[in-house]
Chains A and B, each alone.
Chain A
Amino acid sequence: MKKLLTALFLTLLSISLFAQADKDVEKLNALLEADWKKHQLEEVPVAPDHVFLRRAMLDIRGILPKPHEVKRFLADKNPQKRAKLIDDMLESKEYAELMAMRYSDMFRIKSEFPINLWPNAVHAYHHYFLENARHDRSFYTVTRELLTSNGSNFRVAPANFFRASANRTPSGLAQSTALSLLGMRFENFSGDRKQAFEGFFKCIKYKSTDEWKEEIVYNDNTPRTIEAGTPDGIDFTIKTPDTDPRKVLADWMTSPGNRYFARAYVNRVWSWLFGKGIVDPADDMPLPENFWNKLKLSTPSGQQPSNPELLDFLADYFTKNNGSTKKLIRLIMLSKAYNAHWKTVNHQQAAAEKRFAVYPVRRLDSEVLVDIISRVLGVYEKYTSVIPEPFTFLPQATRAVQISDGSISSRLLDSFGRPPRDSGRISERKRIIDDSQRLFLMNSGWIYNNAGRFHNRTFGKKSRLKLRDKVDTVYLTILSRHVTDSEFKTIRKYQNDLKKKWLLWGDLVWALVNSKEFIYQH
């Protein structure tokens, strides 16, 4: 009887939670629709299942779905299948790895110049974010830990927050904290606010040990009085060492009433899923209004949100759900904006992209693109670092997304715009497609030679599958969809014209890898 009651209670609880979640999606959609209506944008159709599957997989796991996963998803008649897909993906290990990569960009996880975290600290710090993402630890809790931790860079991972900065003066730390956690440009603060914000970082000290590159972050023991203040004008007089200025900052930052922190984070998550934020770029959030702004004599520095109500709603949702990133991502991915087709009527395309009435098309991130190319070709780059001795050799088939250190890269990753993590700015990541990338994709022997091996690797040398089935598998693998009749007709004719029929496969894989449909997130 007790078990029955417990099961009933849990069922009712989950129903109510799902019901609440559905209501939140409805509210989110209502805000989007209101904005589209206001700007007279036509509602676009929902993206087809195969498009959504590929889009979601790449945004959440950084990998392409396998052919059988595509088929299963397309065949599934469950109306909640998209929600279920999102839930499953959020529990995958690839999700944690992709989020750790994003956090690593945000918090400048790099062993060498100019950040100089050093390899062991990079490993510890990256692992910290990996575990946080895996267990969906509240970002409020994580932020508090980052701001208040003391200890060894090797043993206390969040202590690296105050080491992952090229400039470790109070001014430099204020700048990196404002950028990472508030999405604000410290250099645009007014003079008095700059000085005030720096005050929180005046007690931070570092000491070395005899272990190579170990550094311990701790607070200055000297009793003194520090004046410090937040960007929105709240000032504090802090007596150290009884009170830690960083704790005061952490209290302000993570208080439920602090909209700046929540807005900055939800905007950043939005930018991860859409390629740009509601405030774009996501690390140029508007500064708190000053005296002149309130008199409407000037506008606050920073970019303005394209949909302020949407941003506020997401910030409230994030706060009410105790800083859960997974819930936030789920909410956004169930919205009409994320499920929208990428194309609308021509004259509205630009406006629709700005307002998220269509899904904005963008080139895939460098790491994700290199990984999916590697996956298709069956060969992975080898990542090594010659900085620590003996050298670091990442295991075979390590995906680029899994690389913890910003100092470990490759020419391929760099040419596709992998951020160097020198400043932590979003602009460090390049998503433009340029001629060198095009030339590589078209002319690379690495791509073409391995494309030619696709058939035997996938089907075996003596496969008796029909041509249609094989071509369909190629399309499912590379483009995550079935081949269309007209495409198949073209391919069959192409093969008939070839003297050596087997050359079709290398050419086909090469052509698909070079297609926009493959290279872009859409």
Chain B
Amino acid sequence: MKKLFITAAFALTAANVFAAGHIGFCYPAGAQRGQTVDIVLGGQGIGGKRQIDAGPGIEIEKITYVPGFPVPAGDQRRYMHRWIEALEHNKPRPVMPENTQFWRVTPWYDNLDKLNELETAIFQRWFFTPRNPLQMSPSINQRVILKLKIDKNAPTGKRELRLKSYSDVTNPVPFFVSDAPEIKEPLYRRPGSKEVVPTPYIPVPGTANGQIYPGECDKFLFKAKKGEVITFTTTARELVPFIGDGVPGHFQAVLEVFNSDGRSVAFADDHHFNPDPLMVFKAPADGVYTLAIRDAIYRGRADFVYRISAVRGAPKFVMPPAPARISDLVLFDGRNGSVTPPARLQGVISKPQEKFSFILNASPEKPVVLELFARRMGSPLDGIINIYDQDNKLIASNDDIKRPRVGLTLHNADSYLLFKAPKKGGYRVEIADTTGAGSAEHYYHLRIDFPRPGFIGYITPSLLSVPRNGCKQFTAIVERLDGFDKEIKLELRNSHGCKLIGENTIPAKSERATFTLQAPKKAINKLVNIEVFARNGREIINFCAGDELMQAFAYYHVVPSKKLYVAPSWSWNAHLFAWSDLKKVSIKKGGSATFKIKVGNLPQTENPTIDSVEPIDPPTGVTVSDMTFIDGTLSFKYNVSKDCAQFERNQLFLVRVSYDRKPDRRGIIKKAKNAITLPVRRISVR
């Protein structure tokens, strides 16, 4: 049952994102400029792509596709083991037995002596790790080795790295280009190997890269003098923020420092709300110390990759400036006085149990928005806003507010209040941390403003593989601001001939809606970027591209990326299916509506069959029935039960067809299946 659930959950994740190849991890996830490095990408469907998109100054020198490793039979396995030992002792290859007819043949199995160090490590890790079917993860099984040359003048910082081909591109993964030296953990050595591998020194300043496999604890040495301060910053979750088939859905790194006697002298788990630990280490004595990193609960797998950056000195906290959305508001310090909106405040809850209060001048005619910007900006503050009337009675309060799951922040801790004053006057507003915490880093920006209805939009996935003669669905997610509840109409820019077909608005009050993008024949024949936007009055709101990733089998999060890609793809005769009309449909509860699809002349030589018509993710209480196909018209009933909740949505439909493939070498004809996406329809149920 568990496997079924995992498979189903995985399939849902894979539906959009993995269709074009998915990179699960990149190791190492960074390099020093001026260097040529081997990096390993792990993923699914990443073979066959020979280019990268990683920003300026990064080129591929060589690309190696790691072949699959079919499980060898016992005698082949034993032979390979002997061969590996012979290679370690510089002995000749063992003589092969006569009967190898059932042996698995792969490029690497026959050429173990021609593998380089990295390839040997990859192969041996697979070979010597006991297989556990419950620990398999198809999403990261495939390997590609890239030899990257980083130009000495390449801009430093975080990049997005994608593999791409002429007509295809993978999801982005983070890649860092730095100035300081970088090392990797020692390559894998098989159990029983006599080779002594010294523990490497982490450069200070510099970065160490590694991977944590099950039960592993990686170690690096460093020297420090008594009183010297070194800051170790871990980047782990930022590299692979969400793992769909693992719980919790990310690598939970912990750092520990041991002195030369093996005693623990420092430990760091999280950094405020960030699971990636940050350790400010002050050496108690001169000596050589060991820095250890592992998963908090000793899990491990290939995508548990990390970077540990070491710099001298403690980090200096600098309060970030106000976010762009409120930077136009007048800054008010709020002390010993009252605030009349619009204005903004900034401050710090500097110690535990501290609260900050000011008087807000408000009147019933003009509701006031009080919005905290803290956690969204990286502050550990778990804000709460309380409002008291003139009798010091609590009349309004907000702790957390539900927002769409976007970005890496997992707790929407910033408070939001739309305050309608019962009468004109001054009201005491109190800002605090819900848990009573406080420190120099518990900063916040507070917006005190009249409502400015608007929205922020995201498009997922960031790659749309659109059939040249059909359409492809995507999802638009909006965060509605200050009570904005109208319909939102999407438009395209730099469309390359693509257009939105079917419904092109997000229904009023909805946070997400499905759309279909059509690429007419010859509109695009290569990978292109398009932009999606909407209007809020005169304001143009650009929608950010992203990928909706699953976390821990259950939650979905949109991870923003920089570009929205459209690639051509193929779908079986998709152009032959079209709605008879694209009118909006309104159905009463307990009722139904008939939909009709015009079907062109299907190629009869392929014995096509229309298997079903399916609504995708229909609300509870919706069913489809009475499908008929007569005289080129496919019709079906969309039924709504009496218990169905009221809704208005863009409903996506798929037509599932099966047809005969071309006969194979032996003349056998097998059935192929395809799902044809129809343009979305607006359906409302009252």
Question: Are A212 and B411 touching (Cβ within 8 A)?
Answer: no
Instruction: Report A72 CB to chain B, min CB distance, Å.
Output: 19
Q: Which residue on chain A has the smallest CB distance to residue B263?
A: A93
Choice from B248, B273, B299 contacting A391 with Cβ under 8 Å: B299
CA distance A44 to B450 in the complex (A): 84
Question: Are A395 and B436 touching (Cβ within 8 A)?
Answer: no
CA distance A123 to B397 in the complex (A): 34
Name which of B338-346, B548-556, B561-569, B658-666 contacts chain A.
B548-556
Question: Are B435 and A150 touching (Cβ within 8 A)?
Answer: yes
Asked if A223 lies at the interface with its beta carbon under 8 angstroms from chain B, I say yes
CA distance A218 to B254 in the complex (A): 25
**Which residues of chain B (254-302) have a CB below 8 Å from chain A?**
254, 263-264, 267, 269-270, 272-273, 275, 296-301
Name which of A151-159, A167-175, A339-347 contacts chain B.
A151-159
If over half of B's interface residues share one DSSP class (helix, strand or loop), that class is named, otherwise mixed; here it is loop
CA distance A80 to B436 in the complex (A): 49
Q: Which residue on chain B has the smallest CB distance to residue A148?
A: B436
CA distance A390 to B554 in the complex (A): 15
CA distance A424 to B411 in the complex (A): 32
Asked if A210 lies at the interface with its beta carbon under 8 angstroms from chain B, I say yes
Question: Are A152 and B273 touching (Cβ within 8 A)?
Answer: yes
Asked if A137 lies at the interface with its beta carbon under 8 angstroms from chain B, I say no
CA distance A155 to B267 in the complex (A): 13
**Which residues of chain A (344-402) have a CB below 8 Å from chain B?**
385-386, 388-396
Question: Are B382 and A211 touching (Cβ within 8 A)?
Answer: no
- Could you say which of A127, A210, A222, A389 has the most chain B C-beta atoms within 10 Å of its C-beta? A389
CA distance A213 to B397 in the complex (A): 26
What residues of A have a CB within 8 angstroms of the CB of B557 in the complex? 210
What residues of B have a CB within 8 angstroms of the CB of A219 in the complex? 436
What residues of B have a CB within 8 angstroms of the CB of A134 in the complex? 264
CB-CB contacts of A206-232 with B at 8 A, as 1s and 0s? 010111111011110111000000000
Question: Are A213 and B248 touching (Cβ within 8 A)?
Answer: yes
- Could you say which of A124, A152, A213, A391 has the most chain B C-beta atoms within 10 Å of its C-beta? A391
Q: Which residue on chain A has the smallest CB distance to residue B555?
A: A210
CA distance A505 to B249 in the complex (A): 50
Instruction: Report A306 CB to chain B, min CB distance, Å.
Output: 39
CB-CB contacts of A105-129 with B at 8 A, as 1s and 0s? 0000000000000011011100100
Contact (A212, B435) CB under 8 Å given A119-B297, A120-B252, A155-B272: no
How many A-B contacts at CB < 8 Å in the complex?
122
Instruction: Report B375 CB to chain A, min CB distance, Å.
Output: 10
Asked if A192 lies at the interface with its beta carbon under 8 angstroms from chain B, I say no
Question: Are B555 and A93 touching (Cβ within 8 A)?
Answer: no
What residues of A have a CB within 8 angstroms of the CB of B299 in the complex? 388-393
**Which residues of chain A (168-224) have a CB below 8 Å from chain B?**
207, 209-214, 216-219, 221-223
What residues of B have a CB within 8 angstroms of the CB of A386 in the complex? 134
Q: Which residue on chain A has the smallest CB distance to residue B393?
A: A223
Instruction: Report B502 CB to chain A, min CB distance, Å.
Output: 31
Question: Are B301 and A151 touching (Cβ within 8 A)?
Answer: no
Asked if A235 lies at the interface with its beta carbon under 8 angstroms from chain B, I say no
Chain B interface category by residue count:
35 or more
CA distance A156 to B299 in the complex (A): 21
Question: Are A216 and B217 touching (Cβ within 8 A)?
Answer: no
Asked if A517 lies at the interface with its beta carbon under 8 angstroms from chain B, I say no
Question: Are A212 and B214 touching (Cβ within 8 A)?
Answer: no
What residues of A have a CB within 8 angstroms of the CB of B384 in the complex? 221
Question: Are B296 and A218 touching (Cβ within 8 A)?
Answer: no
Choice from B214, B264, B267, B434 contacting A393 with Cβ under 8 Å: B214
CA distance A218 to B411 in the complex (A): 15
CA distance A395 to B297 in the complex (A): 10
Question: Are B410 and A209 touching (Cβ within 8 A)?
Answer: yes
What residues of A have a CB within 8 angstroms of the CB of B134 in the complex? 386, 389, 391
What residues of A have a CB within 8 angstroms of the CB of B434 in the complex? 150, 216, 218, 221
**Which residues of chain B (107-121) have a CB below 8 Å from chain A?**
none
Q: Which residue on chain A has the smallest CB distance to residue B411?
A: A209
CB-CB contacts of B127-162 with A at 8 A, as 1s and 0s? 000001011010000000000000000000000000
Choice from A119, A131, A213, A218 contacting B435 with Cβ under 8 Å: A218
Question: Are B411 and A388 touching (Cβ within 8 A)?
Answer: no
What residues of B have a CB within 8 angstroms of the CB of A124 in the complex? 269, 296
6 A-B pairs with least C-beta separation:
A150-B435, A393-B215, A209-B411, A211-B410, A212-B552, A393-B214
Provide 22 A-B residue pairs closer than 8 Å at the C-beta atoms, listed in order of the A residue: A93-B263, A119-B296, A120-B252, A123-B297, A154-B269, A154-B275, A155-B273, A156-B435, A209-B410, A209-B411, A209-B412, A210-B551, A211-B248, A212-B552, A212-B554, A213-B248, A214-B410, A218-B382, A218-B434, A385-B297, A389-B134, A389-B245
Residues of B within 8 A of A (CB): 132, 134-135, 137, 214-217, 245-249, 252, 254, 263-264, 267, 269-270, 272-273, 275, 296-301, 382, 384, 386, 394, 397, 399-400, 405, 410-413, 434-437, 551-552, 554-555, 557
Q: A212-B248, A212-B551 are in contact. List 14 more A-B contacts (CB 8 A).
A: A123-B254, A124-B296, A150-B434, A150-B435, A150-B437, A154-B270, A155-B272, A207-B399, A210-B405, A210-B557, A217-B435, A388-B248, A390-B137, A390-B246
